[in-house]
């Protein structure tokens, strides 16, 4: 039997900043002239993003009065890694707690002390004793809860966390796995006019998501997603086009304009590889949960797989209202899928993708469960390959 992902909770910092305000901050910080400022504002207008959230109020204050960056024309001395990690350590825990509480409120029958596994996910900050131990203490989890940290893998990391949770539940029918992803991308602003940095500065925001994975559907009958299959693809030619490095002044994201072309080249084979061993075809799938790495990435996938913008509506909603929150983002999209599920969707397949450094492309196949009846599916897994036999209907892909 499959394991089930459901009860997804999310949280964002209090500072909700409009995209044009952030563009004004960036133009001033980079000391752009009129021509470059006009181009930068155009980049922000076509990003598909209206608002982003940040733990820092500074991005909404183009005229100074900053709380984190120095109040100098050049923002010098520019904040160090240590200063940025101090912000992460102060802000990550309360944001993660808010997301977990949002998640567990949906399943009042699941007490924190009944959680058997905790998987934390982040690529924007690290310390030890870390977020995992702090969450155990803050949430009242058992001291012997089994903790796993998925760190520094980028935007696709939540899929690896889901894979771990699935393995735990398949090994132990009593497992209750809590996944917590928290990303504070905006603390790593890089004051550089290089194209890669301009693009990343235009996309990333802060957020947290928490999800519960069980060996059976949620006990209160709420919609959930049966985990049916996973597949990973690599495009080594993109090794230098999407990368994440720790430098003297924060974590530096490389995100080149060539990334959509790399995804275009590999997305069809990724999809075929996922569906090859499953009794479902791409034409059967009407629900999608695609990581909105950027507007161009979504449009490229639509073209290659024959999807419509409406097929991708949940990804566009998250992109428009939150931007790219790295690993937490795909969980935000899956939350939208669950929130809009109806009884008629029971058994419907959901296809999901996420992307990150490598260039890594991850795919997940899920199946919507909306009437609290376990799906009649048997499976055997070897690595990421899944062999399934369905006695009912179709399967779901989610990533």
Which CA distances in Å does 101 have to 121, 369, 390? 17, 23, 35
Q: Are 128 and 211 in contact (CB under 8 A)?
A: no
Q: Are 13 and 52 in contact (CB under 8 A)?
A: no
Options 103, 123, 155, 185, the catalytic residue: 155
- Length of the chain, please? 399
Q: How is residue 150 annotated by DSSP?
A: E
Is 103 labeled as catalytic in the residue annotation?
A: no
Three-state SS string over 199-229 comes to: HHHHHECEEEEEEEEECCCCCCCCCEEEEEE
Q: How is residue 324 annotated by DSSP?
A: B
Nearest to 291 by CA among 206, 199, 364, 383: 364
Q: What is the dihedral of CA 268, 271, 272, 273, to 10 degrees?
A: 120
Whole-angstrom distance, CA of residue 356 vs CA of residue 153: 7
Phi, then psi, of 209 in degrees rounded to 5: -140, 145
Active site residues: 155
């Amino acid at each position: 039997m499959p394991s089930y992902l459901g009860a997804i909770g999310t949280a964002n910092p209090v500072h909700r900043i409009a995209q044009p305000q952030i563009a004004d901050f960036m133009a001033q910080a980079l000391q752009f002239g009129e021509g470059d400022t006009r181009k930068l504002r155009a980049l922000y207008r076509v990003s598909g993003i209206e608002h982003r959230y940040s733990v820092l109020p500074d991005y909404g204050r183009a005229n100074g009065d900053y709380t984190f960056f120095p109040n100098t024309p050049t923002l010098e001395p520019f904040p160090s890694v240590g200063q940025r990690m101090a912000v992460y350590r102060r802000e990550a825990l309360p944001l993660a707690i808010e997301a977990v509480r949002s998640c567990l409120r949906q399943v009042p029958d699941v007490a924190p002390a009944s959680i058997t596994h905790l998987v934390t996910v982040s690529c924007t900050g690290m310390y030890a004793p870390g977020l995992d131990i702090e969450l155990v203490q803050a949430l009242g989890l058992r001291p012997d809860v089994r903790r796993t940290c998925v760190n520094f893998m980028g935007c696709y990391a939540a899929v690896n966390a889901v894979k771990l949770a699935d393995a735990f539940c398949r090994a132990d029918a009593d497992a209750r796995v809590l996944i917590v992803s928290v990303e504070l991308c905006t603390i790593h602003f890089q004051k550089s006019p290089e194209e890669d940095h301009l693009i990343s500065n235009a996309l990333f925001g802060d957020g947290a998501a928490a999800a519960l994975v069980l060996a059976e559907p949620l006990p209160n009958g709420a919609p959930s997603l049966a985990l049916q299959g996973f597949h990973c693809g690599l495009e080594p030619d993109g090794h230098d086009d999407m990368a994440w490095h720790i430098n003297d002044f924060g974590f530096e994201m490389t995100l080149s304009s060539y990334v959509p072309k790399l995804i275009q080249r590999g997305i069809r084979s990724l999809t075929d590889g996922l569906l090859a061993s499953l009794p479902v075809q791409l034409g059967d799938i009407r629900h999608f949960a695609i990581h909105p790495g950027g507007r161009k990435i979504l449009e490229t996938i639509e073209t290659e797989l024959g999807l419509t913008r409406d097929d991708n509506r949940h990804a566009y909603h998250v992109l428009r209202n939150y931007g790219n929150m790295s690993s937490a983002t795909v969980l935000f999209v899956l939350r939208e899928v669950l929130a809009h599920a109806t009884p008629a969707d029971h058994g419907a397949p959901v296809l999901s993708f996420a992307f990150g450094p490598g260039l890594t492309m991850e795919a997940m196949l899920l199946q919507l469960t909306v009437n609290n009846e376990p799906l009649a599916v048997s499976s055997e897994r070897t690595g990421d390959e899944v062999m399934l036999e369905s006695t009912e209907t179709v399967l779901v892909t989610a990533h």
